[in-house]
Structure 1
């Protein structure tokens, strides 16, 4: 049993190493510029080591995009509107430092090359923000006539646009300010 646990732990470390290396390569080169060989070299593993955990570059990219919310955890527990704000601000502050989040931001531009027609990163974030906004509406924080789904899409689209402009103009240094500005403009139209 102990031998199995050691092998399992080693496999989990290798998988995490491959994901981190893939995130770095995708963040730097995008989906099209990345290759499984570059990812394997960065991770310090063989191609077989990569393919043991991921069948393709597309699967690696999907895993990084799907795992984005795991890297955006507000430091304090919150609910409703405050949680929606916290999630977007934590994301904005962490993006410049996190290879995983930078890879997710870069992969958004090319997700048509590796994501299915049903799944996409915008929808993933829209579901998260909509759930928080629905809680806010249920608790009376938002006006009853607010279209939660539409506002969630608007927030995700605005944050995506802010991220792209911030990258070009300041290498993400001003992204938290841009996200705060989005909320300052939006909140008066939403709150009771």
Structure 2
């Protein structure tokens, strides 16, 4: 029974993510989420107290929905992570919904910067490793750069979403790195970094 409850909760999150991603919070209907999940109202409210609770849970689950790319910690893995996220945002509905709800949250009725802070922590970890490996210029402040990168990424992905449903997002993130590397990495390190906007599996082949 415990395993079934875990599976039901995950199913609700996935179907809610589909609905939130398609139309945003205000257009989402609990009845539609229940229909897609094939559950009763009682089953849904057993796991989530309200539509707002469900939306907030989806928003906070975005980091857990992505497996970071392999490789040693450092600047290259950070670049690979941001490019992987660009492709995930084209297909991963839980991530897409979480990002959309994070952008919409003031309109929804809650304010929580923890999704942004979680990604800043991921980026900070890779930047700290990069600094230890001598991959960053001496003037770079890791904490400030991590927050800046999250802000830049948020803006770029939102612009791409509005412009063409994120079809060009990997290319835009690659552009971001081509310019950012000039300011944060020594020339020889910047020249060694691989910034490939192709899907990871295709790039590996």
Q: Tell me if TM exceeds 0.5.
A: yes
Per the TM alignment, residue 70 of structure 1 is displaced from its structure 2 partner at its CA by: 2.2
Match of 1:168 in 2: 162
Per the TM alignment, residue 183 of structure 1 is displaced from its structure 2 partner at its CA by: 0.8
Q: Is the 8 A contact 1:61 1:114 kept in 2?
A: no
SS, match of residue 153 in structure 1: helix
Q: Is the 8 A contact 1:62 1:114 kept in 2?
A: no
Structure 2, unpaired ranges of 5+: 187-205
Map of 1:12-23 to 2, 5 A cutoff? 12-23=6-17
2:68 is aligned with 1:71: no
Match of 2:148 in 1: 154
Match of 1:144 in 2: 138
Match of 2:120 in 1: 126
Match of 1:184 in 2: 178
Structure 1, unpaired ranges of 5+: 1-6
RMSD between aligned alpha carbons?
Answer: 1.7
Please give the alpha-carbon distance, in whole angstroms, between the structure 1 residues aligned to 2:159 and 2:78.
21
Q: Is the 8 A contact 2:69 2:81 kept in 1?
A: no
Q: Is the 8 A contact 2:123 2:146 kept in 1?
A: yes
Equivalent in 46, 50, 57 of residue 52 of structure 1 = 46
Please give the alpha-carbon distance, in whole angstroms, between the structure 1 residues aligned to 2:60 and 2:173.
22
Normalising by the residue count of structure 2, what TM-score does the alignment of the two structures yield?
0.82
Compared CA separation, residues 105 and 116, structure 1 to 2 (3 A): closer
Deviations 1:63-112, CA, capped at 9 Å, x for gaps:
22222122222342331212221221111011111111210221122122
Please give the alpha-carbon distance, in whole angstroms, between the structure 1 residues aligned to 2:129 and 2:171.
25
In the comparison of the two structures, how many residue pairs are matched?
Answer: 185
Per the TM alignment, residue 114 of structure 1 is displaced from its structure 2 partner at its CA by: 5.1
Please give the alpha-carbon distance, in whole angstroms, between the structure 2 residues aligned to 1:162 and 1:169.
10
Match of 2:189 in 1: none
Match of 2:103 in 1: 109
Normalising by the residue count of structure 1, what TM-score does the alignment of the two structures yield?
0.88
2:9 is aligned with 1:32: no
Per the TM alignment, residue 62 of structure 1 is displaced from its structure 2 partner at its CA by: 2.3
Please give the alpha-carbon distance, in whole angstroms, between the structure 2 residues aligned to 1:75 and 1:124.
17
Please give the alpha-carbon distance, in whole angstroms, between the structure 2 residues aligned to 1:122 and 1:75.
19
